[in-house]
Structure 1
Amino acid sequence: MRWYRPLYLSKNTADQIDKIREKAAAGAWVPGIYFVTLSSEPGHLLDLFHNTILKESIFRDVQRLDIVGVAQGRMEALRMVEKIVKDKYQETGGFDVTAWFPEEYFTDSEGA
């Protein structure tokens, strides 16, 4: 699991992010928290996951999650995805996710 810097945070997650990151690293459930991640599917932009997916072995052991946003509740998470796409398109003029989120802006689970 890697975390984008600067991480997109909703108003309801900004004060809790250290606790959320700690629980995510431990694979623990955090009620109502959704992660916005880079898509693992070629040609797609972003994925949206409820944090309970961290209990699934494919996400723990196989698939790397590149988390770019954390939101409280599904609707807040959907609004965040919309904001990210609008912001990044305005910044870059395109839909190239690698340009949106360069490698050097990610830290691993332990990196704060």
Structure 2
Amino acid sequence: MKFLHTCLRVGNLDRSIDFYKNALGFEISRKKDFPEDKFTLCFLKLANSSYELELTYNYGVSSYEKGEAYGHIALSCQNFEKTYERLKNDGYKVTDLYKLSDNSDEFFFITDPDGYDIEIIKAK
């Protein structure tokens, strides 16, 4: 087995693509529209990874209930402090910096336009 992708359903595809590209550095790897089935798929990935984030836009659906089961996805970041300050200064919804009591790596969360949380962890 190999991880391939994670799917997030989004209410505004252009807004979500803009967020993942500009805030987190993702690039579009492929995009396909299915007009007969009324949805569009857009796959994004980071330059140093083959793992993809699939954004699914279903025509006419502007939001989704997240439920209690979704937690977050996580990314590591080399320029952690600089990235945190940039995201905060650019007006993205970010939490304070955290560190667990066991002296784990520092982290924070950023929330995408559809309310999905992404954990950003300081790379070792």
Q: Work out whether the TM-score is over 0.5.
A: no
Higher helix share: 1
Q: TM-score range by the shorter chain?
A: under 0.3
Query: TM-score, structure 2 length as denominator?
Result: 0.24
Larger radius of gyration: 2
